[in-house]
């Protein structure tokens, strides 16, 4: 830790937690980062994405600054999705380096933030991705592996096909990562679940493979989603990947649900919009 603080110099660090109805977990995530405040970390910000529970109250009590998405760039109507609040967090924070942590982490490790900052502080990189073992948590059962289903079934095969240089990334979609403000403000943000893959592809396009690092964070536990939710997530990720590889794709997803013994189609519009680079918005 002493070495990292020395390497930090006069640079500043913001830790951002995007949150939507995470009252059960957000407090513990904030508390694992709180001891770093004033040394390695300069601010902890929870970006509330419209929670209807006690997320904001719990986060504030744990020691974070809570910012509602509507209060940042208020002249822009918020889009739904995680990428939207991460994009707005750039305007709500001041750090030269920004660490993103998901607010639904279970048993978060205090070493996450120092590990993610390490390469940014000591090497010439712009994006650091965390990787980990991801247990699959279904209701009360906890399986040792099996999490990251969208990664293994969609993202990894597509990366191998479209950007084989990135095939060595263990967790391309993981929500624990860090980047330089220089990079993050220079690229667009996918508004939904595709934000992580979009940033990875843009970092690779802008700076090359050498500007991307990954660090082992051990184990990551969080709330796993059902297959219908994962289908929407996968479609957003697919749309962002195809767009960044100059390939046209559909903006609709048809799924089937069983109602009274019948399988009925449920067609959703998939949000594939990008927010423009924050640098251009500030200008």
Rounded distance between C-alpha atoms, residue 82 and residue 196, angstroms: 10
pLDDT at 145 (0 to 100): 43
Expressed in percent and rounded to 5, the helix, strand and coil fractions of the chain are: 40, 25, 35
pLDDT above 90 as % of the chain: 68
pLDDT at 20 (0 to 100): 95
Q: What is the mean pLDDT of residues 174-190?
A: 96
Rounded distance between C-alpha atoms, residue 248 and residue 15, angstroms: 35
Could you report the per-residue pLDDT of 237-251, keeping only the tens digit for each?
998 898 898 887 767
Rounded distance between C-alpha atoms, residue 130 and residue 125, angstroms: 14
Could you report the per-residue pLDDT of 100-122, keeping only the tens digit for each?
999 999 999 999 999 999 999 99
Rounded distance between C-alpha atoms, residue 103 and residue 242, angstroms: 28
Rounded distance between C-alpha atoms, residue 190 and residue 211, angstroms: 20
Give 26's pLDDT tier (boundaries 50, 70, 90). very high
Domain range for 23 is 2-282
Rounded distance between C-alpha atoms, residue 108 and residue 17, angstroms: 13
pLDDT at 147 (0 to 100): 47
Q: Is the pLDDT of residue 184 over 80?
A: yes
Q: Is the pLDDT of residue 22 over 60?
A: yes
What's the structural domain count of the chain?
1
Q: How does the average pLDDT of the chain come out, rounded? A: 90
Answer for the pair 271, 79: CB distance below 8 angstroms, yes or no.
yes
**Phi, psi (deg, nearest 5) at residue 80:** -70, 150
Q: Where are the alpha helices (DSSP H) in 128-214?
A: 149-150, 156-162, 181-184, 195-207
Q: What is the pTM of this model?
A: 0.89
Could you report the per-residue pLDDT of 199-228, keeping only the tens digit for each?
999 999 999 999 999 999 998 775 666 777
Rounded distance between C-alpha atoms, residue 275 and residue 248, angstroms: 18
What number of other Cβ atoms are within 10 A of residue 183's Cβ? 18
Rounded distance between C-alpha atoms, residue 97 and residue 106, angstroms: 25
DSSP code string of 224-260: PPPHHHHHHHHHHHHHHHHHHTT----SEEEEEEEET
Q: Dig out the tokens for 255 from the structure.
A: 């799924």
CATH code where residue 271 lies: 3.90.550.10
Q: Is the pLDDT of residue 65 over 90?
A: yes
* Lowest-pLDDT range of 128-142, 169-183, 255-269: 128-142
What number of other Cβ atoms are within 10 A of residue 222's Cβ? 20
Q: Is the pLDDT of residue 84 over 70?
A: yes
Q: Is the dihedral of CA 46, 236, 209, 283 positive or negative?
A: negative
Q: Is the pLDDT of residue 146 over 80?
A: no
pLDDT at 262 (0 to 100): 87
Which one is predicted more confidently, 254 or 48? 48
């Amino acid at each position: 830790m002493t070495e990292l603080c020395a390497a930090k110099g006069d640079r500043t660090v913001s830790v951002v937690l995007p949150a939507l109805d995470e009252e059960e977990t957000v407090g513990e995530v904030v508390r694992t980062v709180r001891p770093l405040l004033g040394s390695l970390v300069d601010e902890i910000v929870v970006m509330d994405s419209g929670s209807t529970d006690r997320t904001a109250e719990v986060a504030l009590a744990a020691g974070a600054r809570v910012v509602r998405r509507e209060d940042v760039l208020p002249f822009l109507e918020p889009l739904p999705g995680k990428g939207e609040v991460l994009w707005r967090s750039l305007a709500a924070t001041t750090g030269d380096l920004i660490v993103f942590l998901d607010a639904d982490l279970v048993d978060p490790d205090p070493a996450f933030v120092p590990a993610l900052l390490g390469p940014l502080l000591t090497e010439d990189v712009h994006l650091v991705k965390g990787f980990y073992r991801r247990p699959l948590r279904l209701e009360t059962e906890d399986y040792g592996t099996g999490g990251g289903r969208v990664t293994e079934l969609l993202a990894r095969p597509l990366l191998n096909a479209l950007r084989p240089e990135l095939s060595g990334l263990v967790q391309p979609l993981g929500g624990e990562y860090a980047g330089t403000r220089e990079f993050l403000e220079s690229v667009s943000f996918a508004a939904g679940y595709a934000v992580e893959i979009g940033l990875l592809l843009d970092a690779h396009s802008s700076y090359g493979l050498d500007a991307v690092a990954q660090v082992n964070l051990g184990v990551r536990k969080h709330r796993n989603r059902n297959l219908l939710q994962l289908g929407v997530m996968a479609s957003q990720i697919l749309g962002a990947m195809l767009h960044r590889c100059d390939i046209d794709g559909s903006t609709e997803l048809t799924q089937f649900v069983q109602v009274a013994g019948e399988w009925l189609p449920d067609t959703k519009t998939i949000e594939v919009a990008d927010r423009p680079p924050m640098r251009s918005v500030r200008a």
